[in-house]
Amino acid sequence: MPHSAQKKSPKGFTLIEIIIVVLIVGLLGLFALNSMIRSQDQIKFIGATKDTAALISEVRSLALASKTITYNDKQEFPNKYGACITSNQITIFADHPDSTLNSYDTTGDDPDVLLKETYTLADEYEYITTPARSGEPCQLTLLYEPTNAKFSVKPPSTGDDPFDEKQYAMIEVKEIEGDRSKIIVLFRVSGNPEIFNTTDEI
């Protein structure tokens, strides 16, 4: 009588094979998570740069529109519109017609300021300005004249030309503990903010 053929049972996975698969899946998940976090950080940083440029564009648009602003129940035409940049804030403002901007301070309620709107950077970012004024509330003060939005920068206390040899002012938005950096450039001719990746592109 012939022997009946024995069926071989299917071979299962060994414990080592299962561990290797789990490790591979875990590593792929870790790489994907890290990439997603970096992508979100990049989006957040670009957003901060664009928000800063948009505020400067807003103050330039206000100057072009030259609308009156209600101040002490009266309609006033501002003398100048501007933006004050510190290491972590940008404040746009419109000053009172009699103001000379000599005492402008973003930390208090300046009676000469008709309009004030402040944007604060996230803690991990900072502004680095060129030209910069040391020892004053505003590292850099951008000014726009009503109607024509003629652009200027508040000169340093020495009275020198704040633009020096360059025909633009520059605001670098920088990651404090990282390598991300964007540059907002305001050319002397237009005062319109433009975003660049490096100074080599200017």
In the chain, the number of structural domains is 1
C-alpha distance across the termini of the chain, in Å: 94
Residue type, 10: P
pTM above 0.95, yes or no: no
Domain hosting 58: range is: 16-201
Q: Is residue 9 part of a domain?
A: no
pLDDT value, residue 165: 61
Bond before 10 cis per omega within 30 degrees:
no
* CATH code of the domain covering residue 151: 3.55.40.10
pLDDT value, residue 131: 79
Distance of CA 56 to the CA centre of its chain: 11
Q: Is residue 1 part of a domain?
A: no
**Class of residue 78 by CB neighbours under 10 A (exposed 0-12, middle 13-18, buried 19+):** buried
Q: Is residue 171 part of a domain?
A: yes
pLDDT value, residue 48: 92
Q: Is residue 160 part of a domain?
A: yes
Q: Is residue 47 part of a domain?
A: yes
Q: Which residues of the chain have pLDDT under 70?
A: 1-12, 37, 71-72, 96-114, 155-165
pLDDT value, residue 7: 56
- DSSP track, the chain: -PPPPPPPPPP---HHHHHHHHHHHHHHHHHHHHHHHHHHHHHHHHHHHHHHHHHHHHHHHHHHHT--EEETTEEE--S-EEEEE-SSEEEEEEE-TT--STT--TTS--TTEEEEEEEE--TTEEEEEES--TTSS-SEEEEE-TTT--EEEPPPTT---TTTT-SEEEEEEEETTSS-EEEEEEETTT--EEEESSGGG-
Tens-place pLDDT, residues 138-148? 888 888 888 88
